[in-house]
Amino acid sequence: MTTDDFAQYRHVARAGHVPSFDTPPSSPPIYQTAAFDIPDPEFLAAMRAGEASGYVYTRDGNPNHAALAATIAKMENAEAGAVFASGMGAIAAVLLSLAGTGDHIVASRLLYGRTSQLLERFTHQFGIEVSSIDVGNPDAVKAAVRANTRLCLVETISNPLLDVVDIAAVANALGRIPLVVDSTFTTPELIRPLDHGASVVIHSASKYLNGHGDVMLGVAAGSGSLMKSAAETASQFGQNANPFESWLTQRGLRTLPLRMKQICETTNRLAKFLAGHPCVRRVCHPAVNSHPGYDTARRLYPNGTGGIISILLADDSEAAVARFMRAAEQIPFSPTLADARTTVSHPASTSHRYMTVQQRTDLGITAGLMRLSVGLEPFELLRHELDQALRNCS
Ligand SMILES: *Cc1c(COP(=O)(O)O)cnc(C)c1O
C-alpha cells in the first residue's frame, strides 16, 4: 500500500461514527454505546473535576441514564436521581450506600418478597442486622431504632394486602434516621414521599413508570450526595442500567399521568364491584371502606391508590384459583404487575412462596388469595370478564 492508500483507507472496524447535522431529532436518540471518545487526558481530568462535560463509560454514566435520572428527580421533587438495572438493583445499591457491616436497618415486615430475601441475605452475608416491624405503630418504630441504625425501609402501599403506610408518621418517629420508601405501587402521580419527610424514594421502573411490561429497570431519587454514592455502588457491583431500557422508560413516562388516572378510576370501580360479588369473600383495596388503610388512603391519596386489588375467593383454595385462571382466558396469570393489560397473580405460589404456610396464614395470604393488576382496558370489559371467571370458580 502507498501512503495515499493509507490516507484513503476506511476500515469497516472504524465505520459507524456519528454524523453531525444541524436539525436535532424530535425524539431523544438512544446512545447505544459502551464508551465515549475523549479528546485527551487533560480533557478527562477537566471532566473529573466537573469543569468539562461528557461521559466516559456507560457503566458509569450515559446520556440516556442522565435524562431519565433528571426526569425522576423532577417528578419526585428531589435534588437528584439515579437509574439501576432493576428495582432490586436500586434497592440493593441504596441500602449498601447507607449501611455496612455492623450497622442496623429497620424495615417494615410487609415488603416485596425479594426485598425481604435481600435483607435476610444482608444479615448473613454482610453482617447487617435487620429488625422487621409493624411500621403502622410509631412506638414500634421508635423502639426499633438503635445507635447504629442507618435507615428504615418501607413501601408506600404493600403487596399483596395493600397496607397503607403513613410516611410522615414513620419519618417523625425516626427523627434523623433516613427513611427509604419504595413507591413502586404508587408512582409520583399519586404520592411524592420526599414531600412527606422521606429521604429517598425508589421505584421498580419495570412496573408503572415504564408501564408496558417490556423493561427491567430501577430508579431512585434523593440528595445529590446519596444518589452519587448509590450510582457508584451500582457501577462497582454491575447493577447499572442500560441505555435502551432507560430510553424506553423515559418514553413510557410521557403517558404516566394518563395511565395512572385511568387505572385508578377503573380499579376503584372494580374494587366496589368485587366487594359485592357472591363468589368473593373479601376484597383488599384501600377504596373499600372495610380496609384498614381506608382513612389513611383518603388523606394521603386524593388521586387514587393505584391498580392493585387483592381478592380472597369465597372458596379459599388453590383449586378455585386454578378454575378462575382457566375461565379468565383474557386475563393472564403473570407474576408481575403494572403491565398495560390486566394480569392476575397468586401470591402464595409466587411472591410469597418462600414463606411457610403458617407465616403466610399469619399475614392473611392464603391459598385462595389472588392479586389483580388492573390495566388500561375499559371497566365494563373487565367487569364482564371477572364476573364470568368468578362464577366459574365457586
Ligand atoms: C417488582 C418490585 C420490586 C423489584 O423490582 P424489579 O424491577 O423486578 O427488580 C421492588 N419493589 C416492589 C414493590 C415491586 O413490586
Residue-level pLDDT at 186: 98
Residue-level pLDDT at 18: 78
Nearest CA to ligand 1 atom 5: 87
What CA–CA distance (Å, rounded) separates 188 from 170? 19
pLDDT digits (tens, 9 = 90+) for 87-97: 999 999 999 99
Residue-level pLDDT at 5: 62
For ligand 1, the distance from its centroid to the CA atom of residue 164, given in whole angstroms, is: 17
Query: Is residue 263 scored above 90 in pLDDT?
Result: yes
| Pocket flag, ligand 1, residue 301 (CB < 6 Å) | no
| Three cell numbers written together for 236 | 462497582
Point out the least confidently predicted range of 9-18, 75-84, 269-278.
9-18
For ligand 1, the distance from its centroid to the CA atom of residue 113, given in whole angstroms, is: 9
Whether residue 277 contacts residue 387, with contact meaning beta carbons closer than 8 Å, is answered with: yes
What CA–CA distance (Å, rounded) separates 215 from 345? 19
What CA–CA distance (Å, rounded) separates 336 from 381? 21
| Pocket flag, ligand 1, residue 216 (CB < 6 Å) | yes
**Computed over its alpha carbons, how large is the radius of gyration of the chain?**
24
Q: What is the mean pLDDT of residues 320-329?
A: 95
pLDDT digits (tens, 9 = 90+) for 119-151: 999 999 999 999 999 999 999 999 999 999 999
What CA–CA distance (Å, rounded) separates 359 from 351? 13
Query: Is residue 197 scored above 90 in pLDDT?
Result: yes
Percent of the chain with pLDDT over 90: 88
Residue-level pLDDT at 29: 94
Residue-level pLDDT at 142: 98
Mean pLDDT value across the chain = 95
Pocket test for ligand 1, best of 206, 210, 352 (most atoms within 8 A of CB): 206
Rounded to 5 degrees, φ, ψ at 212 are: -120, 15
Residue-level pLDDT at 100: 96
For ligand 1, the distance from its centroid to the CA atom of residue 233, given in whole angstroms, is: 19
Rounded to 5 degrees, φ, ψ at 157 are: -135, 125
Query: Is residue 294 scored above 80 in pLDDT?
Result: yes
| Pocket flag, ligand 1, residue 245 (CB < 6 Å) | no
Pocket test for ligand 1, best of 112, 202, 219 (most atoms within 8 A of CB): 112
Which residue bears the cell 418501607? 154
For ligand 1, the distance from its centroid to the CA atom of residue 208, given in whole angstroms, is: 11
For ligand 1, the distance from its centroid to the CA atom of residue 75, given in whole angstroms, is: 19
pLDDT digits (tens, 9 = 90+) for 203-255: 999 999 999 999 999 999 999 999 999 999 999 999 999 999 999 999 999 99
Spell out the residues 6+ positions from residue 272 whose beta carbon is closer than 8 angstroms to its own: 287, 288
Residue-level pLDDT at 20: 83
Q: What is the mean pLDDT of residues 273-282?
A: 96
Reported pTM: 0.95
| Pocket flag, ligand 1, residue 339 (CB < 6 Å) | no
Query: Is residue 2 scored above 90 in pLDDT?
Result: no
| Pocket flag, ligand 1, residue 218 (CB < 6 Å) | yes
Q: What is the mean pLDDT of residues 296-305?
A: 96
Residue 148: CB atoms within 10 Å: 12
Rounded to 5 degrees, φ, ψ at 351 are: -60, -30
**The pairing of beta strand 218-222 with beta strand 308-313:** unpaired
**What's the burial of 125, exposed, middle or buried (CB within 10 Å: 0-12/13-18/19+)?**
exposed
For ligand 1, the distance from its centroid to the CA atom of residue 303, given in whole angstroms, is: 22
Pocket test for ligand 1, best of 84, 204, 339 (most atoms within 8 A of CB): 204
Residue-level pLDDT at 224: 98
- Reported as a pLDDT band with limits 50, 70 and 90, residue 6 is low
Nearest CA to ligand 1 atom 6: 87
What CA–CA distance (Å, rounded) separates 141 from 335? 31
Query: Is residue 16 scored above 80 in pLDDT?
Result: no
| Pocket flag, ligand 1, residue 220 (CB < 6 Å) | no
Q: What is the mean pLDDT of residues 55-81?
A: 97
